[in-house]
Amino acid sequence: MRKLFSLLKTLLRVLWRTLSFTRSLVANLLFLLVLAILIVSWSARETPTELPEQAALLLRPVGAISEAAPLTNPWEILLRDKLDEIRETPLQDLLDAIRLAADDPRIELLVLDPSQIDRVSLSQALTLGRALEAFRKEGKKVIAVGDSYDQNQYLMACHADEIILDPFGEIGLKGLGYYRLYGRQALEKLKIQFHLFRAGEYKSALEPFIRDDMSEADRRATRSLLEDLWQSARNFIFSGRRNKLTAATLSRYLDDYEGLLTDKRGDAAVTARSAGLVDRLMTRPQWRRYLAGLAGPEADDQRDFAKITMDEYLDHQTRSYRKSPTPEKIALIMARGEIVPGSQPDYRIGAEDLADLLARARRDDDIKAVVLRINSGGGSMTASETIRQEILELKAAGKPIVVSMGPMAASGAYWIAVDADEIWAEAATLTGSIGVFGAFPTFVGSLDKLGIHSDGVATGPRAGALNPARPLPAAEARILQLGVNHGYRRFLTIVATGRKKSITEVEKLAGGRVWSGRQAKALGLVDHLGPLADAVAAAAARVGLTPDHTVYWQNRDLRSGSLGSLLSRTRSRLFTLLFPVELRHLAALAGSAPGAGPTALLSGRDPRHLYALSPGGDFTRENPSFPVDNR
């Protein structure tokens, strides 16, 4: 039997190595092809567009609205533009363009086309809505255009003076929902035993592996959260559609859309206009001519309107957080993605990378304060603690640190944030989730069905105890639970100290429960509600500087927000296309994938198998991501 097991193991290893070699070969060939396209594109690049004397600013964001620092290197921008799969639009670019255009006499009209937006969180939409309101207060006009608007896109558009919809389009407002797939029975059929150790009634990140439905605790907490977020969304829509939309009409549109649509004989566009959700029904040629009457005609096409795109406009402007007027400055650090040990690409928070950035800011005498922008659902507890210790070192050196929470800053991300001098969040930020869990799958039953059995000797009872091919010993399970319990107590203590509360007070807010930013402010888990700009202003005020002194503080090498990171993401995307996630997970669960381990379903493994990770995602989407998408 040992020979059979050895033979099967060898075959699996050879198979995986063959697949890995094929994947690397094909991905590298495709990468070289992409590089060749970039070189040709670069050599044939056009001269930058001159700013017209009068034109509309066209905002047409693509992909996800990103919390990453905007790109500046021309090669990076060219690579991003040529590869649609990694396209994203930095939130700060949108805010800069709107702010600068508000003071630009050449720009009297802003045209928003959200049709290419894939993801925008509610908190980001709120921030953009405020920016559009400031633009309109300068006596300028905002018009949104689109063939159809899904819920994300409508949240982007609802603060325009006019919303134009194609006569064959619709407005896809449906409310907020959160549904997950639960697979306990599937794991039982596969004879996979998933051992979950948690502290916190609401710590539900891995419930899909141990249940077939949502727990009542998770149901209560999620319903409360969604109702609060939807109230923010409704208020946001109403504030943008003043005197055009009533609460009763919006409720009926959500609850009885079939009836409204029936009344209009199935015409979705007329239904939306009758409800007050849009202002005009126009085809593309019609609204292009309409906008030409407002902004003037295009020089080479009298039937189109004069315009300049956001990227073209920003090429001629000074963007935010690029240069300080004096050597003294405030470091702005962008941190997004799952928190994992070691060094990571810019779409994950690597403990080594972020700790190094904080340490460099502490040692640099010109850095007077730090603003840490976080968008993360958490991750490794050990990695989170590594980062937190550097925050404490920064404070001990007398340098203030202000945290600005993006769409999500929960669990391990809250662990990192809690010791900041100030914490800012948006009303719709997802935060809290104070809880800890451990996870460990074993595959004894699966292997038994295949006639494969594990056997051997060890020098002690714990040697080989965490072997997924063997049953998890009861003592080792108790050890893992003790570690989770200790981690939870540690989390409670950290929050109590950082937020100046008693352990008893924190316990009432903990249990792994996720709160909205508005709820967190009322509960004392955050200090203020406001966007990144407010957090930057607060940090500047603490050290007697202005927000203009703030600069992006990033790694010196080609990892963070740079060409190297984009190339890494490109290769990763090619790997995803060649080998679907199901195949990679199966290989990892079988133990044959490089680096596979008991927590292979998590992208970063904690050395103690302890995680502060929160479920979450974009609740405005039909299928919210799980775990949080972390863009």
Q: Give catalytic residues, as residue numbers.
A: 203, 411
Question: What token pair was written down for 499?
Answer: 């937020």
Q: How many CB atoms lie within 10 A of CB 360?
A: 14
Angle at 573 between CA 568 and CA 576, to 5 degrees: 130
Give long-range contacts, CB 8 A cutoff, 24+ apart: 341-346. Answer: 341/380, 341/382, 341/383, 341/386, 341/604, 341/605, 341/606, 341/607, 342/604, 343/559, 344/604, 345/559, 345/565, 345/568, 345/569, 345/572, 346/68, 346/559, 346/560, 346/561, 346/562, 346/565
Cβ-based neighbour number of residue 41 at 10 Å: 13
Tokens of 402: 């202000």
Token pair for 76? 């990076």
Residue whose token pair is 């409670």: 492
Kindly give the pairing relationship between strand 378-380 and strand 401-410: unpaired
Q: What is the per-residue burial (b if ≥16 Cβ within 10 Å, else e) of 605-623?
A: bbeebbbbbbbbbbbbbee
Cβ-contact 313, 97 below 8 angstroms? yes
Whole-angstrom CA distances from 180 to 105, 218, 315 are 49, 12, 43
What is the spatial distance between Cα 367 and Cα 371, in angstroms, rounded to a whole number? 11
Residue that the structure tokens 């009763």 belong to = 248
Q: Would you say the C-alpha torsion 579, 581, 583, 585 has a positive or negative sign? A: positive
CB 471 within 8 A of CB 191: no
Residue in 499, 459, 435, 39 with CA at minimum distance from that of residue 201: 435
